[in-house]
Structure 1
């Protein structure tokens, strides 16, 4: 196994991780930002107000994008396991 192959596998794995995390976290960050702007405009200083909408957003994205994310993870794992003999020898 050459260093180039290892770097390519590592790059693919990092891109997959970034995809998985960004699909789950970015909508929650946007909802948190909208709620923060609302709190600043109305001068409501309640910290727990933004928790429930962010939680619901994260769970909703998990329900909506879960099958896609799982398919991507399974495809990467299948490609990795099927190329193990060519990587070693």
Structure 2
């Protein structure tokens, strides 16, 4: 399973914070158990939001023809060695 990206993590965190504040404000709960249940529900919503974003992102990659687990090749990931423009110079 691929790891979530930074925007996906930020969206999940934002979902947790907003839903926790909204649930606590609307419910008016003051007991420790009630607040813990509402915060746990907010964390579950944030986890669900991140999982859905990861699923949508994987579907977009496979629709474009990129395998789900494949990362795009990066220029910096090449093996270090002599560059062709410097070969032969002393």
- TM-score by length of structure 2 reads 0.50
> Which one has the largest radius of gyration?
2
- TM-score by length of structure 1 reads 0.50
